[in-house]
A and B are shown apart, each in its own frame.
Chain A
Amino acid sequence: DAKTTQPNSMESNEEEPVHLPCNHSTISGTDYIHWYRQLPSQGPEYVIHGLTSNVNNRMASLAIAEDRKSSTLILHRATLRDAAVYYCILRDVLNENYGGSQGNLIFGKGTKLSVKP
C-alpha cells in the first residue's frame, strides 16, 4: 500500500486559513487521495477526496500537486470545531475483484490540529 507522511501536529488561530500538508511520493496512478478527520471522542468523518484536479466542497479544499506526490488540505477559516486529527489516506480505485484489499482505507497517525481562539 502506498504510504502518506503528515506532520504530527499543527496549530492555527481561529478564523485564519489552515494548510495541512501530506506527502505521498509513492502514489500510483489509480490512487485517490482521501482526507478524513476525527473530532474528539467521535468516529472519523469524510472531508474530501480527489484524483488529479483540485477539489472544493463546503468543508474544505484539496490542492493536489501536478506530480501528485503531495497534497494540501485547506480549511479556509478555521473554527474551534475544526480542532481534530486529520488523516490523509490513499485509496486504490482499481478494486474490481471481491476479496481485494486495495480499496480499504489504511489510517496513519494523522495530524492533530489545534485551533486557538
Chain B
Amino acid sequence: NAGVTQTPKFQVLKTGQSMTLQCAQDMNHEYMSWYRQDPGMGLRLIHYSVGAGITDQGEVPNGYNVSRSTTEDFPLRLLSAAPSQTSVYFCASSYSTSTGELFFGEGSRLTVL
C-alpha cells in the first residue's frame, strides 16, 4: 500500500526560484493538508483541502499556493522561494476532516539558499 507519497524527498533552491512539491494519496481520502516543520518546532498548517476543487488557508499560508483538481493529488507551489521557507514539508490525508486517523507522508526537505 502506497499511502501518502511525497516527491521530491530533498530539494535545494536558490532564492527567487519556483517549485512544486507533489503529494498523492491512493486511499480515496477527501481531506488533504500541508504542514511545515522547522527545527525543534511542531508542525504548522499551511493549506488544506476538504475535497476536489476546495482549498483553504491554514496558519502560515503566505508564499504558498495549492490546488486540488483531483481527489488523489494536492500539490504545494512555492512561487518565489525565500530562505525563510527552508523547512521540512509534510503532506497528510484523512477520510474526513472531523474524525479518523491522519496519514502523513515521509516529508520533503527543502533548502533555500
* A contact residues vs B (CB 8 Å cutoff): 32, 36, 41-46, 49, 87, 91-96, 98-110
A107 to B37, CA, bound (A): 10
**B107 adjacent to A104 (CB under 8 Å):** no
Q: Are B101 and A46 in contact, with the CB atoms below 8 A?
A: yes
List residues of B whose CB falls within 8 A of some A CB: 31, 33, 35, 41-45, 48, 50-51, 54, 56, 58-59, 90, 92, 96-99, 101-107
- Going nearest first, the 9 A-B pairs with the smallest beta carbon separation are A103-B97, A43-B104, A107-B42, A46-B101, A95-B98, A107-B43, A103-B98, A95-B97, A109-B42
Q: Which residue in A42, A93, A100, A104 is a CB contact (below 8 Å) of B58?
A: A104
**In the assembly, what is the distance between CA of A98 and CA of B33, in Å?**
14
Q: A95-B97, A107-B35 are in contact. List 16 more A-B contacts (CB 8 A).
A: A36-B102, A43-B107, A44-B43, A44-B90, A44-B104, A45-B104, A92-B98, A93-B98, A98-B50, A98-B51, A98-B54, A102-B98, A103-B31, A103-B96, A107-B43, A109-B41
CB distance from B5 to the nearest CB of A (A): 12
- Whether A108 touches B33, Cβ cut-off 8 Å, given contacts A42-B106, A43-B107, A99-B50, is no
How many A-B Cβ pairs are below 8 Å? 64
How far is it, in angstroms, between the C-alpha of A43 and the C-alpha of B56 when the chains are bound?
22
> What are 11 of the A-B contact pairs (CB < 8 Å)?
A43-B106, A45-B104, A46-B102, A93-B99, A95-B97, A96-B98, A99-B54, A101-B48, A101-B58, A103-B97, A107-B43
Q: Is the interface of A mostly helix, strand, loop or mixed?
A: loop
Q: Is the CB of A91 within 8 A of B107?
A: no
Asked if A104 and B97 sit within 8 Å, CB to CB, the answer is: yes
Whether A87 contacts B42 by the Cβ 8 Å rule is: yes
- Chain B residues with CB under 8 Å of A93's CB are 98-99
Question: CA A77 – CA B41 in complex, angstroms?
Answer: 27
